[in-house]
C-alpha cells in the first residue's frame, strides 16, 4: 500500500514580504497607539464614567447617580452663564481673527520689502506666553494709567474700567483673543496664498478680471478654500477652549461676567473638588466641540475647491 506524503507548498515571496512589512508597521506604530490609548482614549472613557457618579476628591467612596449631574446642568446658572460667555467670546474672536489674518496675509504677500519682518512681528503673539503678557495687558487696560484710556481721553471720550466692569470685561478678553489668534491665522493663509499658481491670476486678467477685487473673488478666495476651512476649524476650536486669559487676568469676574466653560470646569473639579459634576461638564464641552467640527465640515466642505 503506497503512502502519500504531503508536501507543503512554499509561501509566495510577495506574501512573506507583505507580512513582514505589516509586522514592522505595527511595531513602529505600537508606541503611538499605546500613548493614544493611555493619554486620549482612556481619559475620555474615565471622564464619561465619572460623569455618572458623585465622585469627589478626598472621598474614597462614590455612587452612581445616572443623569443627575446632567439634569443639574440645565438649572445651573453658573453653567448657563459660562456657556453664554463662551458663545459670545467665540462669536467675536473667531470671525474677527480670521478676517484680520486673511487681510494681513494678503498685505504681506503683496509687499516685497520687509516681508520677513512683518511675518515675525505678527506671529510674535503666538509664540508669547499669555501669562507673561498678562502684565502688559493689565497695564494697557488699566483704568487710570493705561495707554488705551489715555488715548480715549485725548479725544474727549471717557475710558471704562476694561477688566473691572461686567459690561466690558468680556470684550476686553476678546481683544486679547484676537491679538493671540491673528498671527497664527496669518501664517496659515500665507501658506495658502503661496501655493496658488501665478498663472491663474494672469488667466483671470485675460478673461476680464482687471481689478484686485475681481482677482480675489475669482482666484484667491476659491483657491484658499481648504486653507480657510482649516483656519475656521482651528480658530473656533481655540476660541471655545479659552482659559488662560480668564484665569490670569480676571479669574472669572467680576460677577462671573468673564467666566467661560473651561474655567467653570476647572473651578468645579480642582477648587470645589466635585469631580463627578466637573466630568459631566467636560462631556458636554467635548460634545460641543464635536458638533461644531461636524457642522463646519458638513456645511463648508461642500463649498471647498480642492486642487
CA–CA separation, 290 vs 69, rounded Å? 21
Q: What is the CATH number of the domain that holds 128?
A: 1.10.3720.10
Q: Is residue 9 part of a domain?
A: no
Domain residue limits at 97: 68-303
Q: Is residue 32 part of a domain?
A: no
Q: Is residue 190 part of a domain?
A: yes
Task: Produce one character per residue of 72-108: b if its CB has 16 or more CB atoms within 10 Å, e if not.
Answer: ebeebeebebbbebbeebbebbbebbbebbbebbbeb
Q: Is residue 179 part of a domain?
A: yes
Model pTM score: 0.87
Number of separate domains in the chain: 1
pLDDT tens for the chain, 307 residues: list them.
444 444 555 667 788 788 888 889 899 999 999 999 999 999 999 999 999 999 998 887 889 998 999 999 999 999 999 999 999 999 999 999 999 999 999 988 877 677 777 777 888 888 777 778 888 899 999 999 999 999 999 998 888 999 999 999 999 999 999 999 999 999 999 989 988 888 888 888 887 777 888 888 888 888 898 899 889 989 999 999 999 999 999 999 899 999 999 999 999 999 999 999 999 999 999 999 888 888 877 776 666 655 5
Amino acid at each position: 500500500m503506497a503512502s502519500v506524503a504531503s508536501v507543503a507548498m512554499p509561501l509566495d515571496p510577495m506574501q512573506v514580504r507583505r507580512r513582514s512589512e505589516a509586522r514592522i508597521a505595527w511595531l513602529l506604530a505600537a508606541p503611538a497607539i499605546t500613548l493614544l490609548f493611555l493619554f486620549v482614549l482612556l481619559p475620555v472613557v474615565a471622564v464619561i464614567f465619572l460623569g455618572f457618579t458623585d465622585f469627589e476628591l478626598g472621598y474614597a467612596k462614590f455612587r452612581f447617580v445616572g443623569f443627575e449631574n446632567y439634569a443639574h446642568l440645565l438649572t445651573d446658572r453658573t453653567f448657563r452663564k459660562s456657556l453664554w460667555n463662551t458663545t459670545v467670546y467665540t462669536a467675536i474672536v473667531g470671525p474677527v481673527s480670521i478676517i484680520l489674518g486673511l487681510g494681513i496675509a494678503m498685505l504681506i504677500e503683496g509687499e516685497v520689502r520687509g516681508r520677513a519682518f512683518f511675518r515675525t512681528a505678527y506671529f510674535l503673539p503666538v509664540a508669547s506666553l499669555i501669562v507673561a503678557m498678562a502684565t502688559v495687558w493689565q497695564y494697557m487696560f488699566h483704568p487710570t494709567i493705561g495707554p488705551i484710556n489715555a488715548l480715549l481721553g485725548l479725544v474727549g471720550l471717557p475710558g471704562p474700567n476694561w477688566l473691572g466692569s461686567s459690561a466690558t470685561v468680556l470684550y476686553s478678553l476678546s481683544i486679547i483673543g484676537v491679538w493671540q489668534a491673528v498671527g497664527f491665522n496669518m501664517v496659515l493663509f500665507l501658506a495658502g496664498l503661496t501655493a496658488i499658481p501665478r498663472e491663474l491670476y494672469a488667466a483671470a486678467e485675460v478673461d476680464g478680471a482687471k481689478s484686485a477685487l475681481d482677482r480675489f473673488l475669482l482666484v484667491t478666495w476659491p483657491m484658499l478654500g481648504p486653507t480657510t476651512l482649516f483656519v475656521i476649524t482651528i480658530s473656533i476650536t481655540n476660541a471655545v477652549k479659552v482659559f488662560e486669559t480668564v484665569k490670569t487676568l480676571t479669574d472669572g469676574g467680576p460677577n462671573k461676567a468673564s467666566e467661560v466653560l473651561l474655567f467653570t470646569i476647572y473651578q468645579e473639579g480642582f477648587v470645589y473638588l466635585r469631580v463627578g459634576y466637573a466630568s459631566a461638564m467636560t462631556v458636554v464641552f467635548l460634545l460641543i466641540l464635536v458638533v461644531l467640527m461636524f457642522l463646519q465640515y458638513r456645511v463648508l466642505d461642500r463649498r471647498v475647491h480642492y486642487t
